[in-house]
């Protein structure tokens, strides 16, 4: 099973794509998804960096918008240009928008801020194959009451996704190479949450599976799921 992490690089974060790729490869990851917000896109050569460090560098985007109308336009703009399209969650309105859009790959950190999640949204995510992020960022980097609330939120979110059989991804949502954590560390955090190791491994692998699926769909030979042109 492959393992991918989804990162924010400079100017959205504090490290270059190359530095993040190097550290991720040292930690045993097979790939990284560069998920900068659309208004802070980095300039980088993913193929060159990937070849240098022996790691898959996936071009993604995390769409941040004030309302679903603007977000819908951004999704349309980025869908054909980015391998993975995520939507910045954290409000009830944006969470609902994201899980109802088949063109969206990932709903990012739905429980931050004023965000909430319920069984209706979980079922919509399952229906539309939108992966919901189990973000470990607050558990790793917050303390006190905020960390306790983050633990509660993640347990609730995991239960809702499990009940609906909805897809999910796992990430520490690192903003620099210093915030990257090895898969074994994320499994340890998962154990604190009461998650089986398989939950963490499945969520890390899901980023790579999304990338592979979307790259296949971008192929000229792809017609629709299960239908390909015979190029011979």
Domains and CATH numbers, the chain: 4-228 (3.20.20.140)
**8 Å CB contact between 99 and 124:** yes
Average pLDDT over residues 102-115: 92
Average pLDDT over residues 8-37: 97
CA distance 210 to 206: 6
First to last CA, the chain: 32
Q: Is the pLDDT of residue 225 over 60?
A: no
Whole-number percent of the chain with pLDDT over 70: 94
CA distance 170 to 134: 5
Q: What is the pLDDT of residue 222?
A: 43
Tens of pLDDT, residue by residue over 136-191, are: 999 998 888 888 899 999 999 999 999 999 999 999 999 999 999 999 999 999 99
**8 Å CB contact between 44 and 34:** yes
* Residue in 25, 34, 32 with CA at minimum distance from that of residue 53: 25
**8 Å CB contact between 206 and 131:** yes
Q: What is the pLDDT of residue 206?
A: 98
* Residue in 75, 81, 163 with CA at minimum distance from that of residue 119: 163
* Residue in 167, 176, 179, 173 with CA at minimum distance from that of residue 203: 167
Both tokens assigned to 189: 């955090």
Query: Crossing angle, helix 119-128 and helix 92-99, to 10 degrees?
Result: 30
Tens of pLDDT, residue by residue over 69-104, are: 999 999 999 999 999 999 999 999 999 999 999 999
Average pLDDT, the chain: 93
Q: With the CA atoms of 101, 89, 34 and 24 taken in that order, what torsion angle do they form, in degrees rounded to the nearest 10?
A: -120
CA distance 157 to 119: 9
CA distance 136 to 199: 13
The phi, psi pair for 30, rounded to 5°, reads: -90, -20
Local confidence band at 223 (pLDDT 50, 70, 90 cut-offs): very low
């Amino acid at each position: 099973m492959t393992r991918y992490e989804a990162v924010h690089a400079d100017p959205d974060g504090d490290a270059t794509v190359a530095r993040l790729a190097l550290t991720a490869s040292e930690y045993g990851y097979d790939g990284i998804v560069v998920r900068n917000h659309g208004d802070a896109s980095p300039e980088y050569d993913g193929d060159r960096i990937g070849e240098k460090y022996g790691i898959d560098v996936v071009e993604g985007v995390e769409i941040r918008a004030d309302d679903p109308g603007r977000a819908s336009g951004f999704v349309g703009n980025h869908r054909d240009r980015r391998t993975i399209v995520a939507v910045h969650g954290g409000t009830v309105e944006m969470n609902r928008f994201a899980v109802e859009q088949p063109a969206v790959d990932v709903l990012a950190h739905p429980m931050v801020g004023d965000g909430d999640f319920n069984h209706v949204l979980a079922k919509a995510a399952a229906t539309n194959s939108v992966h919901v992020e189990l973000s470990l960022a607050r558990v790793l980097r917050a303390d006190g009451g905020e960390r306790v609330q983050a633990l509660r939120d993640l347990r609730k979110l995991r239960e809702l996704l499990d009940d609906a059989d909805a897809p999910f991804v796992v990430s520490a949502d690192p903003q620099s190479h210093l915030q990257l954590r090895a898969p074994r560390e994320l499994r340890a955090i998962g154990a604190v949450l009461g998650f089986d190791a398989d939950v963490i491994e499945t969520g890390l692998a899901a980023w790579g599976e999304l990338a592979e699926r979307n790259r296949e769909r971008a192929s000229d030979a792809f017609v629709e799921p299960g239908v390909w042109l015979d190029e011979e």
